Each structure stands twice: as C-alpha cells, then as structure tokens.
A and B are shown apart, each in its own frame.
Chain A
Amino acid sequence: MTEEPGEPTGRVRITSPLTSAPAHVRRSVRQEIDESTGIGEVYMRSLIRAQLRAALTVAATLVLSIGALPLLFLAFDSVTEMHVLGVPLPWLILGVLVYPGLFVLGWLYIRQVERAERDFTELVEPHRPDSP
C-alpha cells in the first residue's frame, strides 16, 4: 500500500458487528399507548377523531333535517297544505316518518364506529386470534 505524502487521511474505526448494544426491539402499539409516548398519542387521537367525526356527522344530519323542518313549514305553504292518503303532510312527517329516520341514522352510526374500533384493534393487536 503506497501513500502520497501530504494527503491527509481520516481515521477509520473498524468495529466488530458483534457488540454488546441491544438489538432494536420492535415496540408494539399497545406499549406506545400504555406509556403515553408520542406515537401512542397519535394513535389515540386518530381513534378519537374518527369516532367524533361519526358523531358530528349524525348531529349535522339532524340539524339539517329535523332542525330545518320548522323553517320549511314556515317558508312553503304548499308543503303544509299537501295531503298524502288523506293525512296532512306535516302530520305524516312529524308523527310517523321521523322515527324510522332516527333509527336508521343510529344504525348507520353504529356500523361506522364499530368498524373504526375494529380497525383500531387490528392496528394495536394485529395477531389476536379473536380479532375479526
């Protein structure tokens, strides 16, 4: 090996691959959540945000449907005077149709949040035999 004089060389450290440093351990999401680390917080916030979004969607739907009915009746006489099967339309809406509507909204909401919770479970404990 020949060296040109005047050409500085950096010191090179050569280490054995077999050191006493611990190998990188894959930490589970559950640990991150249990120890309230930054990553755990991110997971929790995403779950809460998904659930809150579903709840606010239902609330907004209510405001725009049932909440808008009084204004609708006030603004359009044709709606209040319409008859369906001999029953005035406002009575049919307020006395009957509202209730199945509320049930369907609740059912859709439950489907949405249960899915979000399943996804979250899958994320946190991917190999649980009982996770669907």
Chain B
Amino acid sequence: MNTTYGMVAVALVAVATLGIGAFGLRMSRTTSDFYVASRSVSPVLNSSAIGGEYLSAASFLGVAGLVLAYGADMLWYPIGWTTGYLLLLVFVAAPLRRSGAYTIPDFAQVRLQSLGVRRVASVLVVAVGWLYLMPQFQGAGLTLRTVTGAPTWVGTVVVAVIVVVNVVSGGMRSITLVQAFQYWLKLTALLVPLFFLVHAWAGDDRPSPVAPAEWFRPFSQADGPGLYLTYSVMVATFLGTMGLPHVVVRFYTNPDGHAARRTTLFVLALLGVFYLLPTVYGVLGRIYARDLLVSGRTDTVVLELPSRMVGGTTGELLAALLTAGAFAAFLSTSSGLTMSIAGVVGQGLARGRLTTVTALRLAAAGCVVIPLGLALAAERIAVANSVTFAFALAASTFCPLLVLGIWWRGLTAHGAIAGLVGGGVCAATATVVTITASPGGWFGALMSQPAAWTVPIGLGLMIGVSLLTHKSVPANVSRTMVRLHTPERLEVDRRY
C-alpha cells in the first residue's frame, strides 16, 4: 500500500479535527459550554455527533473482519449496537434529559439523594470508559502500522495526544462539531469505495464467497454454547448501550426531552444506514482476501480491499479514504469517552480549590494516561473482546440503575449500591478471567460473554435489596418523578 496517501489522509483528519475543535473554542466560554454545549444542540447535529461518536473502530473495521472470519453469526453485533439505541429511546432518553443532571453519577445522586451511590457510579464510569478506550488506542496503532509501516506505538500515541488537545481546548461544544463531521466522514469513507468495489466484483463475473456451510448459516450446530453466546451478546449490546458513559452524556446536550427523543430516532436511522456497509466489505473480503484468515489480520480487511480489487492510483486513493475514516473512528470515540470520563472525574476534583474548567482539563489529561499505558504495555487483546466487556459491564450496572431509577419509585440507595457493586464485580471478574486465563468450553463461554448472567445478578440485587430497605426510599421521590416524566412546557414545580 502506498505510504504517502495514507499519511496524508491521517494528517488531514487530524488537522480537520483540531481545526473544528479550535473553531469550537471561540464559542466555548462558560462551564456549561464546556460540559454539555450549553444544551442548545439541534437534533440533527446532535444525532450526527452521536453517530460519529458511537461508530468506533469495532464498527468501522471490526465488523467486516468478523464477518470475513465467522460469517452470518457476527451480524448480531451491529444489530445489537443499533437495538441498544431503540431501548435507550424508550426507557431513558427523555426522562434522563429531564432529570437535568450532567452525568450518570449526577443522576444517581439527585434520584437517590446519596453520595455513596454517586461515588460507586463514578468509579464504574471510569472503569467502563477505560475498557472502551484501550482498544481504540490499540486499533489506531494497528491501523497506522498497516497503512504506513510505522511502529504500533506511534498511532496509539498520536490518537491519544490529539484527543487530549481537543478535549482540553474546547470541551463538549467543539467535540459536538467534531463528532458530527466525523459521522459523515465515516459514512462517505465506507460508501464511496464500495461503489468501486462492487463494480469490480460485477466485472469479475460476480463470484460467490468460498466458505464452509456454517459460515453461510447462523447456528449450524445446535449443541455447544453457540445459542448462549448469541443471546448473551444480545443482552450485553441491547442493554449496555444506555449505560455507556459517552453515550449518556450526549443526551444532556439536547434542549429538552422532546428533542432527546427526536435525536435518538435520527440516530437509529444513521446507524441503520451505516451498518448496511461493513457486512458487504466482509463478504467481499471472504471472496478476495481469504489469506487474511491465515495471517490473523482480518481486522484490516476494509483497508486492504481497494488495492486488491481496484488497484492502481484509484485503489490507493480509496484506501487512503478508508484510512481517513478509520482514523476518524478512533478519534471520535476516544474524544467522546475521554470527555465523559473527564466530566465525572473533573466534577470530583472541582470540589477542591480548582475551578471547574481547570479541573476538567486536568482530568482529561489524567484519564487518557492510564488506558494509553495499558494499550502500550498489553500484548494485543482482541479489540472486539475488550469492547464487549465494556458493554457487559455497563449492562450489568448502569442499565438497572437507569431503568429502575426512572420507572420504579421503590429504588433505594442501598439497593442501587448493592446492584452496582454486585453486577460490576461479576462482570469485571469475567473480564479478568478471560483476559488472563482465557478458559475454554462452557466455562470459557460464560466468562467471555458474561452479560446473560451478570445482568440478572445486578438487576436482582438492586430490586431485592431495595425491597429489604424500603423504609429508606428518598422522601422526595414523588417530586423527582414529576421532574423526570412531565413535559417541559408544563409549568409544574420541578425542584428536587
């Protein structure tokens, strides 16, 4: 692959990202600007930003690679990542916006009137964020190595530095513009080369993929943990999306609950359009790039196809466009994650002598250092796996907290803490066991996709302990419910 085009593509994305960030800086002055863009972002811009932030390396590169390697069964991942937004829409979008809080720990505190819940939720936000950041940084390193031949750490460090500069300089306002730009960049980067690829495939007498029967058919074998794995992926992705810190923080930038719903509906459309594309890349990869299976570099199939199928300068330009899209994916997801972790940590720091904006800047820099170190130190942990664990952890902890907190008056602070700790410890244990020991068989399946059993544990603990401590239901729960559920245009008393 031609190094120059790839380098130029990466440089352009980096400059555009920082440029739009600087433009945002001139408009961003107050603390409210910094955290949630003063809550004045329109649904279309906001949903593009959510799409841009959400479509990470796993979506842009990972899905095509998984389809190439494993076939039909892998289509559940993009389905789950989209369905998660539908469940977010119906259970949390509008009430969460109406709660008026900045972050999940804020929500937990105003709903349950407890500093303890706030602290546990803050720790979990950081844990989920780091689990999600690490593979983004690693993916960036791998991509830059594929495209330019640079050592892996270069791409990792480059992405981390750009993210910190961006977050530190402009906060959420500039992030919103950057993210919105990056959704459209990612969509274009996948769509345009696809026309050329499909044209080349049609000119090549439309060959079919060569693969064993189980590649074509979901669940070709009924025995074994296949069915469990599929349902566990569904639980993790359906319920985990609403608990991802970088997704939730986006909802505070809507002007009201009504706009929060509109935004989520637009997001469903944007994700649906985007996820049609990686599958086609995966199938074409099965036809034209089967050797990647042998070398184990299936994650790079999206970047490799243009030079193999189109070739020449056109092929190299298309590959550069795809590289730009991949880099946008790393940058946008990492920026959003860093922003949301920094928001939570920064609020904790701001209780001391620091001003809120300084605290946020310090937190942003600090929060990137640890996953960066992990990404540099760790041998390659499968990118898709790490992301799945972030989903499983979020689904076992924040999903019950949000859903019960919004819809059930009986939730108590004790119940919430029990559920967050119980669900969190189970999901974290499974993650550590898989990464350090990677056991096989049924035990391995239970550990590698833990959501199907950790979510019931988190939810059960939250409900059970709340029932046992029902005397400590916050006194103002009725008022909180009025605030969460009444439309904003009604002039009722919303004070907590």
Contact = CB atoms under 8 A, between A and B. Distances in A.
B381 to A, nearest CB: 27
B40 to A, nearest CB: 21
B202 interface: no
B487 A120 contact: yes
B227 interface: yes
B38 interface: no
Interface string A98-118: 111011011101100110010
Nearest to B487: A117
A41 B481 CA distance: 10
Contacts of A130: 489
B90 A109 contact: yes
B188 interface: no
Interface in B434-484: 478-479, 481-482
Q: Is the interface of A mostly helix, strand, loop or mixed?
A: helix
B48 to A, nearest CB: 16
A62 interface: yes
Contacts of B89: 106, 109-110
Contacts of B265: 103, 106-107, 110
B75 interface: yes
Nearest to B90: A55
Contacts, number: 124
Contacts of A106: 86, 89-90, 264-265, 268
Interface in A18-63: 30, 33-34, 36, 41, 44, 47-48, 51-52, 54-55, 58-59, 62
A66 B90 CA distance: 17
B481 A44 contact: yes
A88 to B, nearest CB: 6
B235 to A, nearest CB: 10
A105 to B, nearest CB: 6
A124 B488 CA distance: 13
A99 B489 CA distance: 33
Given A55-B91, A124-B492, A88 B231 contact: no
Bin chain A's interface residue count: 35 or more
Interface in B213-234: 216-219, 222, 227, 230-231, 234
A131 B485 CA distance: 18
A80 B89 CA distance: 31
Interface stretch (B12-20, B76-84, B245-253, B419-427): B76-84
A33 B227 contact: no
Contact of A54 (B87, B90, B227, B490): B90
Given A70-B218, A94-B75, A99 B490 contact: no
Interface string B282-318: 0000000000000000000000000000000000000
B276 interface: yes
B493 A74 contact: no
Interface in B62-119: 72, 75-76, 79, 82-83, 86-87, 89-91, 94
A125 B86 contact: no
Interface of A: 30, 33-34, 36, 41, 44, 47-48, 51-52, 54-55, 58-59, 62, 66-67, 70, 73-74, 80-81, 88, 90-91, 94-96, 98-100, 102-103, 105-107, 109-110, 113-114, 117, 120-121, 124-125, 130-131
Question: Which 8 pairs show the lowest CB-CB distances between chains A and B?
Answer: A99-B272, A94-B75, A55-B90, A34-B493, A95-B279, A117-B487, A58-B90, A80-B217
7 contacts: A48-B481, A58-B87, A94-B76, A103-B269, A106-B90, A121-B489, A125-B491
